[in-house]
Amino acid sequence: MHSSHLLLEEPIRMSSILEPSKPSFFPAMTKLVGTLGPKSRSVEIISGCLKAGMSVARFDFSWGDTEFHQETLENLKIAIKSTKKLCAVMLDTVGPELQVVNKTDHPIALEADSLLVLTPDQDKEATSNLLPINFSGLSKAVKPGDTIFIGQYLFTGNETTSVWLEVTEVKGEDVVCLIKNSATLAGSLYTLHVSQIRIDLPTLTDTDKEVISTWGVRNNIDILSLSYPRHREDIRHAREYLSKLGDLSQTQIFAKIENIEGLTHFDEILQEADGIIISRGNLGIDLPPEKVFLFQKAAVYKCNMAGKPVVITRVVDSMTDNLRPTRAEATDVANAVLDGSDAILLGAETLRGLYPVETISTVSKICAEAEKVYNQDLYFKKAVKYVGEPMTHLESIASSAVRAAIKVKASVIICFTSSGRAARLIAKYRPTMPVLSVVIPLLKTNQLRWTFSGAFEARQSLIVRGLFPMLADPRHQGQLDPEMVLESSSCHMMAWGCLLQHYMVNHFPFVLHWPSTRLSLPVRQMSQS
């Protein structure tokens, strides 16, 4: 019996699996978030990542200073211009993250069954028997028997490069631990995670606020990835802080669920956040391995029904050092797509991995294959049933547009929007064809200067599954010619690779207009010339 979210022919021709994939009219609907770092910060590499499918660039401030990240961002801007590929910018906060301080950067060899002291005295040198950490309250938070994990950036989980510790004794501010496995800590950053223990640090730290108010404001970040949120107040606090920073009031907040507290208060966090990132690296430490998939599936379903983007992390760790993923990893990526994930986040694989471009290309191909067998019909029925009746006006329009587009076998849905909300609602119903979100800029003023809105809304669409943004010409505001926009949209889709050039517009079966929200949903059917 086939899984309910798979749509496969009966019987399956096994020989077809060996056939090369046929070129599709559009790239993978699932979006890819790439973390830019030492191995992926040159214009050449970033350009390759954009061409391979990266639509959101993540800047993780757990390491590196603002100058380093600014240089990388300037290279990203050059790459965007040369490739003509839109890319959103995501700032990932550090949050209450505990780190080992190793000023020498020398590898540290740890031997199983020996003792290791964790101390808040950062003036001491890191050795095989003593590791300075950046938190003075660890001794008050843990007790004998607690589990501590130390590993490289983003937790590889490799037992030769990460170590499990068991707390044996607390001496003043020092914590004495028993090393459970031999390992060598290599690299400039080691992260420390205490399983199921609350660390008494604010979710949005003073360091995070400084980075946001300087680097974030300077670069008009599109998305803020809030690390370690524990409850809804963390999201509200972050949003209140952003609202005081000019244009950053438009920045979306994605809650990165990383621990038991965030999991426990997931429903209230989902209500407040604009999107969710399921950080499986840290969750895999707080949760037993056999429980991680349960939370992933439940959380993705809730995000889907709420119409909020959900991002999955830690999918192809082995590609940090290898050109190909393991079979289990390839299957994991496909299952994330079949579960309903909007995007896949690549961390160490692109930040310090040897093959950042190849990794993005490989994951994109896996996503595209999974999308071909995604049971959209079943998902659509579940989504409509979940919304219930009576529907809101906008929900009714969005779901009806998707239903009609599928019935006439349209090749693309084109949505005119100013806030992006209508386009996101359409994408919520997971149509089988891409949704082109034509964002209509609106002229606004703060009584000191005039500005156009729309750039934020367009770039923020780049993390939503199946949604492809396009910013309309602001000079035509108020006198928008639908035919002109349709023609421009078609050219845009062909340039982006969503439509092949030898396909031409035959006719468009219907056009839906809703003047009260400036919503227009032309759906075009394509036929081969």
For 400-432, the pLDDT digits (tens) are 999 999 888 888 888 888 888 889 999 999 999
Which residue is listed with tokens 């000191």? 448
Q: Tell me the average pLDDT across 38-54.
A: 95
Residue 8's pLDDT is what? Answer: 56
Could you tell me the CATH superfamily of domain 98-194? PK beta-barrel domain-like (2.40.33.10)
456 confidence band (pLDDT: 50, 70, 90): confident
Asked if 489 and 470 touch (Cβ cutoff 8 Å), the reply is yes
Determine the pLDDT at residue 453: 67
| pTM exceeding the 0.85 threshold for the entire prediction | yes
The predicted model gives 370-389 an average pLDDT of 90
The CATH number given to 25-95+202-372 is 3.20.20.60
Q: Within 13 A of 386's CA, how many CA atoms are on the CB side?
A: 16
| Amino acid found at 153 | Y
Mean pLDDT of the chain: 84
Beta pairing, strands 523-528 & 503-510: antiparallel
Say if residues 190 and 152 touch (Cβ distance below 8 Å): yes
The two tokens of residue 302 are 């809730």
pLDDT at 417: 83
**Higher pLDDT among residues 514 and 302, named by residue:** 302
Q: 307-337 pLDDT, tens per residue?
A: 999 999 989 999 998 999 999 999 999 999 9
Measured CA to CA, the distance from residue 263 to residue 280 in angstroms comes to 12
Strand residues in 68-173 grouped as ranges (E): 88-92, 98-100, 108-110, 115-119, 130-132, 147-152, 163-171
Q: From 160, 155, 107, 159, select the one nearest 131 (Cα to Cα).
A: 107
Question: What was the pLDDT predicted at 154?
Answer: 43
Predicted pLDDT of residue 489: 66
- What homologous superfamily does CATH list for 376-512? Pyruvate kinase, C-terminal domain (3.40.1380.20)
**Domain definitions of the chain by residue range:** 25-95+202-372, 98-194, 376-512
Q: Cis peptide leading into 27, omega within 30 of 0?
A: no
Model confidence over 141-177: pLDDT tens digits? 999 999 999 987 545 556 677 899 999 999 999 999 9
Whether the per-residue pLDDT at 527 is higher than 80: the answer is no
Examine the pLDDT at 512 and tell me if it is beyond 50.
no
For residue 419, what pLDDT is reported? 82
